[in-house]
Structure formats: C-alpha cells, structure tokens
Amino acid sequence: MSEKIKINVMGEDVFVDKGITYKELAEQFKDKCKERILAVSIDNEIRELCYEVEENSKVEFLDETSDEGQRIYTKSMLFIMIKAIYDLYGKDRTVIVEHRISKSVYCEFEDRGIDVTKKMCQDIENRMKELSDLDIPIERLQLSVKKVKELFNNLNLFDKTEILKYRRFSFATAYKIDDYYDYFYDNMAPSTGYIKGVKVFPYNYGFIVVPDFKNEENEIPLLSQYGKLSEMLMEQMEWCRLVGVKTISELNKRVIDKSFWELVRLNEALHEKKIGEIADMICKRLGKVKIVLIAGPSSSGKTTFAQRLCVHLHVNGIKTHVISMDNYFIERDKVPVDENGKRDYENVNVLDMELFNSHLLDLINGKEVSLPYFNFLSGKREYHNEFLSLGENDVLVIEGIHALNEKVTSLIPQENKFRIFISALMQLNIDNHNRISTTDTRLIRRIVRDYNTRGYSAETTIERWPSVTAGELKNIFPYQQNADVMFNSATMYELSILKLYVEPLLFSIDNTSPQYVTVVRLIKFLDCILAMSPEHLPNNSIIREFVGNSCYKV
C-alpha cells in the first residue's frame, strides 16, 4: 500500500500518494479550472507540472485564463516557434524575440537580409502545428554551467553563453524539445501538445506570432490600431542596435569596462532631443494650443517629462504652468471599488471631474483658481495657498493617466489641445529569446517610488499592481492612438540602477505572501544584472523621479 501525504489543493485538504507528480494530480482537479492546466503554484511559487507533490503544501493550479498561465503559454509558444525555425533552417538562422504588440509577439531574424515571406511564415506555422501534434515533452534539465555552455555553443546560442558569465551558481537550467536546447526565464508547459492554434504572418522586417488563448477570440490583431505604438517600439529597437546594447550581457559589459556613464549620457541626450522636438511641434501651433495633455500608464515618468518639456517650451518663449491630475483625486475613502471589491485607483472617476473641469474653464477664461494638493500619505486633499492664473499666451500643461480621455477635457475645443502619450517601452532583452516585460519594468519603478515617496511597502505595491494594469487596459491604452505624439521614457541603463533599490524590498517578502509569485519572477531576471550606484545620474533624469534627488518637484 502506497504512503499517503496531506496537501491543500484549491482550498481543499486531500491525501495523495507520495511520489505523484503535479501533472498526475492535475488530472484529478482539472474540472476546477476553466481550461487546460499549464503549471502549479506551490506555496506561492510557480513550478512546472513535472515536479513531485510536496507534503503540507498549498497548491493552486494555473490554466490558460490566468495571468501566469498566459505568460507560460506565450513562452512555451515561443520555444516551439524557435524549435520550428531550427528544424526548418538549421542553427545558423538566429531569431530574436523583440517585443509584444497587444497579445502578439514581434520577432526578427538577426540577419535582416532574410526576406520574410508569407510562405516562410506559413512553413513556420505548419511546423509548429506538427510539433504540437507530436506532443513532445518539454523537459527541464538541471545541469552544470559548463555543460549548459557547451550545449548552447553547439547551437550557436552565444548570447545565452554570455549571460551565463554572470551566473552566481555552478548549475543552470536548460529546456529541451527533442534535440534542441534553450533557456527561458519563465516556466514551461509540460509538452508541445499544450500549445495549439498559433498564427504566424509577416510584419515589418520580421514576423508576428499570435497565440490562441482559449479565453479570448482567436483573431489576428488589427495592427493598424497600434501603428504609433509599433513605430515607437521599432525606433527604440533601432536605437538599441545603434548603441550596441541590445541585451543584459551587453549592458553588464558597460558596467565592467566603465563605459556605463557614457551610455547614460547617450540615453539622456536622446531624451533631451526628443523632448525638444515635441516642444518645437507645440510651438508651431502656438496661438491655438492652450492645453498640453500628457498621459501614460503608471510609472512612465509623466511628472518629470512634463517639467522637462516646460523647460524646452520656455526656451522657445512660451510660459507654462503645470497641473498634476493626481491632485484632483477624490479622498481615498470615497474611491470606488472594482468587481472584486477592491479600491479602483485607476478608474477615471477617482478624479473630481466637476472641480477639474471648473478650474480648466476658469483658467482658460483668465480667472484665478486655488490649486488643490493631494496628500498620498493621508489620502486627503489639501490646500497650500497656491493660486494660478494664465496670461494671454500662457500654456497649461496637464499630466495624468487619464489626460487623453475626452471625458476629462470635453469642454475644451480640439484645436486648443496638444496630446502626448508617454510610456516606458523597454527594448532591452535578457538574451535573444527572453525579452524584459515593459510592465515589469514599470512595476519595478513603482515599487521603488512608492516606498520612497508614498510610504507603501513593496508587498502593497505588488498587491495593487493587477488592478493598476487592468485599469490601464480599460482607461489608458484605448486612448493612446489619439496622441499627437508618443514619447518613450525607458532607458537602456535604468535596471542597473533600480536593482540597487528594489532588490532589498523584494527580499523582504517571503513565500507566505500571495505576492511571492511576482517577487520570484522579478528577482530571477534581476539576478543577472550588475548593479550601479546613481551617484553620477543627472538630477533631471526621468529615473530620478523614482530613486530620488530629482531637481524637479516630483
């Protein structure tokens, strides 16, 4: 008779056979999930289904409808795509995973001379389907670093060999499909058969890979909706190529060879150039533009950007006045709740719309208003005897996540508004096949800022993050294409500096916290980045908004 062990599965205490795998256990609990189970959360740590069940553990199964499940599905899809290209063209054709557009992933070949045709994409798609139908196990191997380097070098995966130089341990993980090895900074599905219905089609210099999430419509995205965003991503990608810092290992080399601060100066010069160009665009519409609206998701650096833009406008003879929409928040205890009963801080209705619109109209009509100030520590609105009125040719600069929502400025004529969308679109990859999520980059920024300026713990910030991103999808991103211009506030160097601040905050959270899943993911990719002190970081840098000592009021 087999030995039994006790665990808690999806809130239910059960006894199971010792030595059973989570994949076997998942079969018993599949009816409790909406779709096919991809992985398991064991005491708030994500693992693959190949692991054996641990005694006295708390188990939650993850399917394709969960955020972590979608992340695993996407990474497994990319692994199969890379394997398909290897099967079709051999190890000399290097593919680079560049960035996401909506739910899809844009990829390129390292050799841009390769003509990516519809037939090539169809061949890749067909081979992926064949691999899916074969249902080949995706094996997780724990090997010595020396052995993993040997495997990767044999497959011309030299970018992965480079990143292993910064490995702190003598062992490393490799994933295997048939005769192909790779590594990903996320967990994998148990086998290729879990990934079905993928579409591949040409786009720009490369191709788009579209996943088929079971809880969503299986449609090729209308990429025309993301034209400006895609253009900005492509531009940043080209900038990374030009500077020669496309991966974390190339960033680390800058730290080692002491050219890191040269990279910082280049990034800051690029930001200065772009902000100057935007100021020139506004100047060309001087006389009509009365309000400059700056919107973007959380932690995109809107406040610093707004003040740097004002400097450039002043150089052009335009007097500006900045208003932060955050100061028009309703008091915290009046914030509406979402469908889960949690405070919805990203909802446009957290703004006192009546007061805000009243102030805008008064200012445009030459009247003086008493400006409010929102105290994030107390959660209440205050007044500090700060008054504002506009001169005849003055321009009002307004920044906030909802600034491009027409509801916010519905009474202002369109010709009087200039709209700017700002986001931190990180284009730095860990290696050719592992991209750094722009959302994770913003989360790291926010953890550091919230701790330094708002008195929130890292655990609190991470707990609120899903509602933040859900609010962005609903209230911010739908309006980004309305912008007259977009600005990318990401820098290639920032993770080296932010790591110094965020790691201690992350390590303060243990596996008893539901936020530990996110903590592990962030620590995992931060581990391969070399940290740098911000002592020589310019005090007008957008990154100063998060780490402190900015010359601006942030």
Which part of the chain has CATH 3.40.50.300?
227-547
Model confidence at 226, pLDDT cuts 50, 70, 90, reads low
Model confidence at 323, pLDDT cuts 50, 70, 90, reads confident
Confidence at residue 162, expressed as pLDDT on a 0 to 100 scale: 92
Question: Is the domain covering 227-547 a CATH 3.40.50.300 domain?
Answer: yes
Q: Report the sign of the C-alpha dihedral through residues 78, 79, 85, 87, in that order.
A: negative
CB 231 within 8 A of CB 425: no
Range 84-91 average pLDDT: 97
pLDDT in tens, 121-171: 999 999 999 999 999 999 999 999 999 999 999 999 999 999 998 877 889
Model confidence at 481, pLDDT cuts 50, 70, 90, reads confident
Question: Is the domain covering 4-63 a CATH 3.40.1350.10 domain?
Answer: no
Residue with more model confidence, 260 or 101: 260
Given this structure, which CATH class describes domain 69-221? alpha beta
Strands (E), 301-447: 320-324, 369-375, 380-388, 395-399, 417-423, 429-431, 434-435
Confidence at residue 338, expressed as pLDDT on a 0 to 100 scale: 77
Which part of the chain has CATH 3.30.980.10?
69-221
- Antiparallel, parallel or unpaired: β 206-210 and 104-109: antiparallel
Confidence at residue 216, expressed as pLDDT on a 0 to 100 scale: 47
Confidence at residue 213, expressed as pLDDT on a 0 to 100 scale: 60
Q: How far is CA 118 from the centre of its chain?
A: 30
Range from 110-124, 227-241, 375-389, 398-412 carrying the lowest mean pLDDT:
227-241
Model confidence at 474, pLDDT cuts 50, 70, 90, reads confident
DSSP characters over 164-225? GGG-SSSEEEEEEETTEEE--SS---SBGGG----EEEEETTEEEEE---TTS------GGG
Strand partners, 13: 8
525 pLDDT exceeds 70?
yes
Q: What is the mean pLDDT of the chain?
A: 91
Range 73-102 average pLDDT: 94
> Which of 529, 500, 544, 536 has its CA nearest to residue 262?
536
d(C-alpha 68, C-alpha 52), whole Å: 20
Range 18-33 average pLDDT: 90
In the block, which residue shows the tokens 């701790």?
A: 451
d(C-alpha 346, C-alpha 341), whole Å: 14
336 pLDDT exceeds 50?
yes
Which part of the chain has CATH 3.10.20.30?
4-63
> Which of 359, 361, 408 has its CA nearest to residue 386?
359
Range 489-513 average pLDDT: 96
Range 339-343 average pLDDT: 79
pLDDT in tens, 376-409: 889 999 999 999 998 888 999 998 888 999 888 8
Range 428-446 average pLDDT: 94
Confidence at residue 465, expressed as pLDDT on a 0 to 100 scale: 94
221 pLDDT exceeds 50?
no
Confidence at residue 227, expressed as pLDDT on a 0 to 100 scale: 64
Range from 71-85, 99-113, 256-270, 493-507 carrying the lowest mean pLDDT:
99-113
